[in-house]
Chain A
């Protein structure tokens, strides 16, 4: 033990533990969505035709654009980490802003997608939804629940990155104390990872 620091003194920065803690949290997130994927797989197996029919209601092109938007945002946040590691704070901040911008684009497109479904009454509890066969109702229920939970993660990730930008500006996150930016990046990549599976499952199952 070469040095001792009081807890919460601000001097107990430990990059390795920070990252490990973040990864442990991400593993629990994987299992959270993993459980939902299991539900999806089972119900899809039991209602194949209904799931196929219901999936034609989704707009493949909007889904594709959103996938590309998320992939691009993953690249910008990854580059933001590279920029900060090289000591280029300005570029790191701009790339983090680009990520938040992509998050907003994703949410706006999602808003229009969900809006169209609401207009047609596909949200659980609406008139048209109640008239649908059992299998299609399951599909839309899972669609709204899983993309909704994912959308929540997009919002949280965006706020997380905004906090990090503020701290890069104030100097609390810098070249030598990069953990918070790295962790926000890891969280953002998880959002991307989950979408990578949600997209083919809901949009491309023809």
Chain B
């Protein structure tokens, strides 16, 4: 037999009277901190401080290990050693695996660093281990800390009003922040949103505008001075196109109800377990694609496919987006791994503003293959619609960034 809600509450009321005694509740320090971090007046400054802290720790930790440690090991020992022992210098296998040596110029010149060598064993391993590993290690450590303390729901409450403007609600901050680590769990986390409309908007915005931890890590390494501009363009895009999607996608965007849990002391064992699990998961997905991406782009260069594409697409690249035609190569790599694509962009000769535009294009132009597969799992209709939105966004936003550059007199 099933009951209606009122009857259930009636029973619970009676059970409660017989078995539960609520004593006097003391207001604790944890409660006070909880309130300070959720009231807008104090909560917003605290949130800004926390996110800024997150960002600077991320940058300095990743920079310390990459520049101070891995760059030296890889450039001075690993690359030099491989160049010496790998047979067949100048041959095709050598070019793909170790060093393509100024492949654009058509003449073999040994590279002196792992970013420009373009080889699977050099650039590929360096990007994955030397750059991305420290970045995602510190990212996931701090994310786990915020998660286990119980800060995420408070951030959700604070940002609720803003996210309603783009058809979402505060809790959309959870998939957004998860996506900053990797878009794959971010796409899965869209399931906590109530309606199809919200899930579609969220998934599309994540796939287009949220760079993953690996990509942020490599950007910090190769274009640190331009980070602010790139992130600003992505953030503005997130809101502009979210606002437009909210207007044109049919469906409802309901208010959300959330339980804000009390702050809890994180368990060190749980933090480490989570960081470890996410690192392992990341490398299972990422490492094969980084290496594969490296090999594919290397082969396409050798077959002169990239040069051909660059010529064919040059009106769009040069005329519409205002970036060098060689950007075609990294854009192909970007489908496999965005981190690899940014690394390859950094070796192309261009102005600062072109670099900003090119990195933004790499971010927004297509989700990486792992994210693509995950979106397909959530529904092929949504995936097709998201790709249609994406094509329009890349074209419009890429052009807009070019126009802004022209107006600012830098493009």
B partners with A = no
A residues sitting closer than 8 Å to B (CB atoms) are none
